[in-house]
Structure 1
């Protein structure tokens, strides 16, 4: 599932966009699960 949102503005103004992804993965059975993440803004 993927959703995209875009806002429009007058010429010369900033535009905000957002892209959201949800990925459904098969469950890991008795295996190590490794997750990585990155902080974009604090």
Structure 2
């Protein structure tokens, strides 16, 4: 298990859910080359 405290698409309940290595993101962060920011739905 990999802990994840970032606002990342792959984060769920504080853990990384990425199952296999993929192409690194174009916006990596210090500790995660696969970081992808979560999209936030705007409430109306």
Q: TM-score, normalised by structure 1?
A: 0.21
Q: TM-score, normalised by structure 2?
A: 0.21
- Higher percent of residues as strand: 1
